[in-house]
């Protein structure tokens, strides 16, 4: 079936009758009055359908018929400008165009600051062949978003998952993060985390980026493994001969921790040579943030309640460089690097109240984690008389290094009573003082370290052949890509219990970190100082007993090595027929994967029975036809439609053959190396109108039909192993499996515009977007048992929020600017439970942020940002929306400082 689609496509392409003629080339740069590139500016040859758009650097090029031509330059916020050019056959002419705002800007519209960034983004978005959203660096800088995930939350249809109040994972259009593909400069980057493919975008500082593109419908020249969409993070490059030095110097304050934070950014960029052949850009930034949270968690089935006191220090270091050399107007090479390092030192101090066991547990965890991502892209672009050639090699490496992850637990035999009359703040009563550390005896001390590595080696090549049929311009593009991935995860874990002699907790007590916890509703007393305990451990090892079987099981269970080779090729055509642009093509991707890990078998009596090495492998192919239509209703309005195929590879944690076989409980969790990726057919429809004063009103519909949807299934009384000679006759096996369908239907609307049409409000602008999503998927019924194992039930897709939106009002004067931003994430299913009543949902959350800036002069600008002004908590519930199982508060935090552009 897949090959048939490919064959039909080739026949259509070959039969289309491509007419090539000897033509000329016009290329150059379009910039504004400050020499800033006007990304997305359109050039069109009057009286023809020949047009092109400037890229992020303002560079453009296109093949045109020779003659005396009138070119019109179009850019939102500026009047159309026309230039006359004479061109002979085969000639390449460089035309650099500078739009002077005094002459060209629309009356009453000052293109500065935020509007400038918005103009860049919207011009690119307007001219894009596919449905995409773009946010430019200037625009990112106007929202208080320190990392790429938080910058993305402003895009229609984007949901973010937060960690300790900071955005981390990004979901597009109601699908979980594993359905989104993340790239840097057009090429996928590996994930530092062991068990997933998707990248925690809080590791990437937003100051590193020139822009972020969110493609919601794929074209054949893009990787096909992106059902939700594809996020492309684009780093900066040098623009002009004049050196540019810009940066930020600032500090901040976290109200919960009553601690400060620091940030800084410095960027230098310049082009060298008499023809500005060599460009160099260096960017570095650093952000250190002291944060924390106060939380409570409840385990309903176990009747347990936890208080959780988090204290964290996070740093983000970003270094990037871009070097490019233009040999002449035909040939250039480039080398781009991006290095991001995110560190997270976390102290977690807990009480766990266990009335059923008449025990209270007191624990402290101390963990340091460093996530690094390195990406190096080297490539070249060539402009030949009749075709364009570009190729690139990329090396990227991601690592999550956890040099220590230590946690100790002490236990006191104190009965407690938990009362949930106030579901928001359950009450705890105990006969004895639970803060009395002398009552807590040593239980265990776990000390471990892990390292996860992921390396990609990629090579790709693209060839673009422009052509003309009658008066209609077209382009045929084809190319190929090879990517080799190696991923591994190694664990070292040592857990010790009391061999005899370890003193009670009062000997290791530290000082409280916060004056009040949860607004003074709960008391924590003096916490366990973990370092003090480890010092005691080092001095008195004879009192500690290593849990040897636990060590063997812990180290074997999740460790794995995996390799994945991807081979891809595509062929696409783009044809302009008057106002209609048709882009169609097909992409073929073949993936070969192999994995090795270990089985951990727990004997019927609970002892560790065996650890056995296992391997798995699979090969799968995808043929992905893509069709995009764009109809230009007028010069400011487009209608777009797309039908595309895409897929999403499973998470590594689902496919590695790692297994836990627990014969004592008669349950097994096993990986499925034969798990197929989820396949999707996507329909998109979008209408968009751009405002000449910089703005957009858009509305769109999308529908996704997912096949081979992955879900976790329990196979009752299965033999183990499931193939070959069984060593266990009957055991309940839980495994991720393919088989069920899922549908996602959604609508999104967006409005961005200056209120210049309202008297006295012409310095104000609004930024509004809203996305509604509905999904359903069929899974094996949670009521299923041996007798009706094939019973199914319908669920909503985990991670899918029905309502997502942003509302922002900004004032932008000549010197002063301010913005209030609301971000709303609707409730979503976070985790499927054993029964429907055990499903865990994340509750609605609406965060209010504010920013303000004051331009001292053209070079220096003061800024202040305040986030989470209304202290919105993270809240999870189970069963019903008032039965909270987690509430976590962060208070507000701020950043302030000065930005300069010398």
* Strand pairing class (180-184; 187-188): antiparallel
Binding mask 368-387 for another protein (x = CB under 8 A): x-x-----------------
Nearer CB in complex with another protein: 427/540 = 540
- At a CB cut-off of 8 Å and minimum separation 6, what does 818 contact? 810, 811, 850, 851, 852, 853
- 406 forms part of the interface with another protein (CB under 8 A): yes
Nearer CB in complex with another protein: 150/366 = 366
How near is the Cβ of 193 to another protein at its closest, in Å?
19
DSSP bridge pairs for 474: 467, 575
Nearer CB in complex with another protein: 12/610 = 610
Backbone Cα Rg of the chain: 29
How near is the Cβ of 454 to another protein at its closest, in Å?
22
Nearer CB in complex with another protein: 71/200 = 200
Residue from 435, 431, 432 nearest 505 by CA: 435
Nearer CB in complex with another protein: 11/546 = 546
**Among 3, 8, 83, 610, contact with another protein (rule: CB under 8 A):** 610
CA 520 to chain centre: 36
Footprint of another protein on 14-43 (CB under 8 A): none
Helix and strand numbers, DSSP H then E, in the chain: 8, 47
How near is the Cβ of 451 to another protein at its closest, in Å?
15
Nearer CB in complex with another protein: 13/552 = 552
Residue from 550, 439, 425, 416 nearest 496 by CA: 550
Token pair belonging to 454: 């992921």
Binding mask 298-317 for another protein (x = CB under 8 A): ---------------x-x-x
Contact between 130 and 641 (Cβ < 8 Å): no
- Is the peptide bond between 721 and the residue preceding it cis, with omega within 30 degrees of 0? yes
**Among 108, 243, 541, 834, contact with another protein (rule: CB under 8 A):** 541
- 333 forms part of the interface with another protein (CB under 8 A): no
**Among 268, 272, 286, 425, contact with another protein (rule: CB under 8 A):** 286
How near is the Cβ of 494 to another protein at its closest, in Å?
4
Nearer CB in complex with another protein: 534/862 = 534
**Among 129, 366, 444, 589, contact with another protein (rule: CB under 8 A):** 366
Nearer CB in complex with another protein: 286/325 = 286
Pairwise CA distance, residues 729 & 635, whole Å:
70
- 348 forms part of the interface with another protein (CB under 8 A): no
Nearer CB in complex with another protein: 500/724 = 500
Residue from 344, 371, 368, 451 nearest 200 by CA: 371
- 537 forms part of the interface with another protein (CB under 8 A): yes
113: phi then psi, degrees, rounded to nearest 5: 50, -125
- At a CB cut-off of 8 Å and minimum separation 6, what does 568 contact? 223, 224, 480, 481, 482, 483, 587, 588, 589, 590
How near is the Cβ of 318 to another protein at its closest, in Å?
11
Footprint of another protein on 459-518 (CB under 8 A): 492, 494, 499-501
- 716 forms part of the interface with another protein (CB under 8 A): no
**Among 404, 425, 636, 764, contact with another protein (rule: CB under 8 A):** 404
Token pair belonging to 738: 């393919």
Task: Kindly report the length of the chain.
Answer: 902
- 403 forms part of the interface with another protein (CB under 8 A): yes
Pairwise CA distance, residues 544 & 548, whole Å:
12
* Strand pairing class (97-98; 24-31): parallel
Q: Does the CA dihedral 156-159-163-169 come out positive or negative?
A: negative
CA 109 to chain centre: 34
- 433 forms part of the interface with another protein (CB under 8 A): no
Binding mask 71-100 for another protein (x = CB under 8 A): ------------------------------
Contact between 173 and 305 (Cβ < 8 Å): no
Pairwise CA distance, residues 264 & 900, whole Å:
11
**Among 13, 18, 380, 611, contact with another protein (rule: CB under 8 A):** 611
Residues 149, 154, 156, CA angle at the centre, nearest 5°? 110
648: phi then psi, degrees, rounded to nearest 5: -140, 125
- 268 forms part of the interface with another protein (CB under 8 A): no
| Residue ranges in contact with another protein by CB under 8 A | 262, 286, 288, 313, 315, 317, 343, 345, 366, 368, 370, 403-404, 406, 447, 492, 494, 499-501, 531, 534-535, 537-538, 541-543, 545-546, 548-549, 551-552, 603-611, 663-664
């Amino acid at each position: 079936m897949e090959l048939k689609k490919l064959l039909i496509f080739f026949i259509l392409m070959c039969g289309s009758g491509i007419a090539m003629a000897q033509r000329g080339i016009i290329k150059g740069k379009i910039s504004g009055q400050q020499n800033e590139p006007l990304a997305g500016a359109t050039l069109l040859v009057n009286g023809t359908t020949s047009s092109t758009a400037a890229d992020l650097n303002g560079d453009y090029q296109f093949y045109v018929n020779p003659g005396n031509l009138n070119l019109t330059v179009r850019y939102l916020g500026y009047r159309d400008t026309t230039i006359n050019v004479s061109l002979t056959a085969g000639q390449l002419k460089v035309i650099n165009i500078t739009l002077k705002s005094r002459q060209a800007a629309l009356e009453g519209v000052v293109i500065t600051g935020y509007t400038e960034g918005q103009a860049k983004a919207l011009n690119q978005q307007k001219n894009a062949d596919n449905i995409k959203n773009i946010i430019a660096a200037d625009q990112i800088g106007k929202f208080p978003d320190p990392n790429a995930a938080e910058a993305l939350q402003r895009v229609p249809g984007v949901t973010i998952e937060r960690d300790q109040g900071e955005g981390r994972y990004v979901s597009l259009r109601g699908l979980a993060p594993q359905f989104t593909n993340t790239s840097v400069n057009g090429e996928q980057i590996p994930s530092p985390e062991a068990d997933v493919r998707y990248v925690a975008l809080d590791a990437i500082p937003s100051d590193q980026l020139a822009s972020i593109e969110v493609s919601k419908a794929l074209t054949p020249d893009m990787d096909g493994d992106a059902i939700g969409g594809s996020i492309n993070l684009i780093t900066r490059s040098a623009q002009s001969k004049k050196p540019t030095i810009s940066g930020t110097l600032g500090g901040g304050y976290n109200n919960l921790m009553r601690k400060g934070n620091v940030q800084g950014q410095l960027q230098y960029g310049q082009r060298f040579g008499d023809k500005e052949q060599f460009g160099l850009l260096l960017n570095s930034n650093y952000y250190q943030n002291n944060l924390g949270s106060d939380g409570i968690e409840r385990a309903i089935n176990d009747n347990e309640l936890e208080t959780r006191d988090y204290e964290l220090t996070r740093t983000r270091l970003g270094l990037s460089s871009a070097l490019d050399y233009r040999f002449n107007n035909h040939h250039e090479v480039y080398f781009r690097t991006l290095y991001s390092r995110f560190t997270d030192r976390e102290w977690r101090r807990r009480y766990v109240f266990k009335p059923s066991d008449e025990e209270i547990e007191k624990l402290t965890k101390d963990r340091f984690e460093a996530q690094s991502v390195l990406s190096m892209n080297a490539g070249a672009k060539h402009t030949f008389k009749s075709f364009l050639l570009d190729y690139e090699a990329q090396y990227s490496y991601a690592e999550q290094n956890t040099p220590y992850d230590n946690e100790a637990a002490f236990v006191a035999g104190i009965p407690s009573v938990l009362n949930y009359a106030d579901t928001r703040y359950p009450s705890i009563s105990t006969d004895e003082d639970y803060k009395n550390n002398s009552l807590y005896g040593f239980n265990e001390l776990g000390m471990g370290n892990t390292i996860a590595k992921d390396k990609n080696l990629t090579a790709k090549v693209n060839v673009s052949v422009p052509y003309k049929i009658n008066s209609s311009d077209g382009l045929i593009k084809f190319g190929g890509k090879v990517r080799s991935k190696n991923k591994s995860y190694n664990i070292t874990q040592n857990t010790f219990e009391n061999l005899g002699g370890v003193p009670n907790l009062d000997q290791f007590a530290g000082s409280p970190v916060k004056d009040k916890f949860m607004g003074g509703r709960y008391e924590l007393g003096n916490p366990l100082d973990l370092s003090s305990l480890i010092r005691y451990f080092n001095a008195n090892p004879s009192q500690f007993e290593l849990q040897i079987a636990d060590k063997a099981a812990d180290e074997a269970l999740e460790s794995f090595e995996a390799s994945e080779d991807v081979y891809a090729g595509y062929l696409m055509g783009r044809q302009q027929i008057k106002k209609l642009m048709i882009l169609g093509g097909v992409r073929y991707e073949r993936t070969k994967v192999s994995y090795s890990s270990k089985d951990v078998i727990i004997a019927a009596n609970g002892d560790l029975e065996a650890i056995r090495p296992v391997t798995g492998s699979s090969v799968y192919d995808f043929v992905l036809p893509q069709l995009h239509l764009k109809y230009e209703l007028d010069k400011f309005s487009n209608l777009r439609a797309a039908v595309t195929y895409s897929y999403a590879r499973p998470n590594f944690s689902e496919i590695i053959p790692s297994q836990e076989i627990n014969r004592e409980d008669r349950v097994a969790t096993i990986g499925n190396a034969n798990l197929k990726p989820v396949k999707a057919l996507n329909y998109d429809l979008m209408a968009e109108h751009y405002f000449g004063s910089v703005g957009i009103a858009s509305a769109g519909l999308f529908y996704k039909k997912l096949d081979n949807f992955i879900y976790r299934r329990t196979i009752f009384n299965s033999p183990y192993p499931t193939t070959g000679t069984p060593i266990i006759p009957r055991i309940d096996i839980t495994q991720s499996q393919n088989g069920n369908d899922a549908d996602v239907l959604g609508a999104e609307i967006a409005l961005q515009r200056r209120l210049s049409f309202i008297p006295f409000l012409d310095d104000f602008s609004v930024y509004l977007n809203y996305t509604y999503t509905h999904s359903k998927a069929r899974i094996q019924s949670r009521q299923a048992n041996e007798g009706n194992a094939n019973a199914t039930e319908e669920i909503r897709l985990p991670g899918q929020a029905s309502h997502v939106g942003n509302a922002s009002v900004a004032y932008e004067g000549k010197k002063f600017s301010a913005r209030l931003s609301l971000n709303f994430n609707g409730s979503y299913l976070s985790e499927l439970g054993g029964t429907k009543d055990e499903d865990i949902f994340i509750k609605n959350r609406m965060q209010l942020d504010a920013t303000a800036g004051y331009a001292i002069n053209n070079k220096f600008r003061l800024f202040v940002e305040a986030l989470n002004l209304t202290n919105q908590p993270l809240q999870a519930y189970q069963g019903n929306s008032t039965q909270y199982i987690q509430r976590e508060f962060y208070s507000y935090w701020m950043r302030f400082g000065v930005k300069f552009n010398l």
